Amino acid sequence: MHTRNIHRQGYDFKQLVSVYPALSNHIVITQRGQQSIDFSNQTAVITLNQALLKLHYGIDFWTVPSPFLCPPIPGRVDYIHHLAEFLETQPDFSSHEKVKGLDIGTGASAIYPILGLKCYNWQFVGSDINKEAIKLAKQWSEFNSLGLKFRHQPNSEMMFDNIIKPGEQFTFTICNPPFHASAQEAQAGTERKWRNLKGKTQSNLNFGGHAPELWCEGGELKFIKNMITQSQQYSEQVNWFTSLVSKSDNLKSLEKHAKELGVAKWEVVAMEQGSKQSRFVAWNW
């Protein structure tokens, strides 16, 4: 993980329980004699996230109701820290206080805006095609006095239209795109993950997520290509467009598409979370 990531050394369950006692109901002892939780239990995972957000980020009111995706906070904040370091290397960067981000597909958790605000005091707008997700995201902002803004995207084919207002400026956009190309692929991938974890199957899943969060036609490759294409129209209003890319095999095709459209700068920022290799791409015009 990024050197700034407070979760690099794992979870301090003693501290977490001290600020969020409800977590004590979900503590288990592993075969190595260490404290953990049952990551196949949805309630346990949400409670862990609530404790993490309260202890490390000062968030008192937050949850993710079914069927929305429950995000793994250490991985999400890693994207934030890597993006912050990336912005700091740019010649026009002056201060995090002046940074404003747009989260495409913010979800009911609004996790990127929350973490970006708490880690770097970034301003944020979050967008989503799901009205209920936007309603919940607004609640977390209001309950915790965060001052974040959220906008509903009425057109599922559009990423920036209807969201970026005339004359509005953003330092960056951020996105965790749908990974899979179909519902069947999403289910198969999830079941493989949980068999590796603990022999669990689909009926035991905890992180949840519904169709728009998990899959779209063409998967992340088509989704990000569409994002690159649509971003050109907003090249004067956004300094950097970014997106996670889960499959490294997609990088060459994405770069080729970007260069064919005339993207001026294309960067790939590598990230690691344990044994997992990840990355995000960044481009501008």
Question: What is the residue-averaged pLDDT of the chain?
Answer: 89
Mean pLDDT for the stretch of residues 194-221: 52
Report whether pLDDT(155) > 50.
yes
Model confidence band, residue 205 (pLDDT cutoffs 50, 70, 90) = very low
Residue range 65-121, pLDDT digits in tens: 988 888 999 999 999 999 999 999 999 999 999 999 999 999 999 999 999 999 999
Record the pTM.
0.88
Nearest-angstrom CA–CA distance, 162 and 127: 10
Residue range 222-270, pLDDT digits in tens: 999 999 999 999 999 999 999 999 999 999 999 999 999 999 999 999 9
CB burial of residue 33 (10 Å; 0-12, 13-18, 19+)? exposed
Please, are residues 156 and 133 in contact by the beta-carbon 8 Å criterion?
A: no
What is residue 215's three-state secondary structure?
A: strand
Residues of the chain with pLDDT > 90, as a percent, come to 78
Residue 184 pLDDT: 54
Report whether pLDDT(59) > 90.
yes
Residue 56 pLDDT: 98
Report whether pLDDT(127) > 50.
yes
Mean pLDDT for the stretch of residues 46-61: 97
Report whether pLDDT(181) > 60.
no
Report whether pLDDT(217) > 80.
no
Nearest-angstrom CA–CA distance, 147 and 128: 18
SS3 content of the chain, % helix, strand, coil (to 5): 45, 20, 40
Q: Poorest-confidence range of 54-63, 113-122, 189-198, 202-211?
A: 202-211
Strands (E), the chain: 27-29, 35-37, 100-104, 123-128, 149-152, 170-175, 238-244, 265-273, 276-284
What type of residue sits at position 134?
I
Nearest-angstrom CA–CA distance, 217 and 225: 12
Residue 25 pLDDT: 97
Nearest-angstrom CA–CA distance, 229 and 222: 11
Q: Poorest-confidence range of 5-9, 17-21, 200-204, 221-225?
A: 200-204
Report whether pLDDT(215) > 90.
no
Nearest-angstrom CA–CA distance, 232 and 241: 10
Model confidence band, residue 206 (pLDDT cutoffs 50, 70, 90) = very low
What are the two backbone dihedrals, phi and then psi, of residue 3, each rounded to the nearest 5 degrees? -60, -20
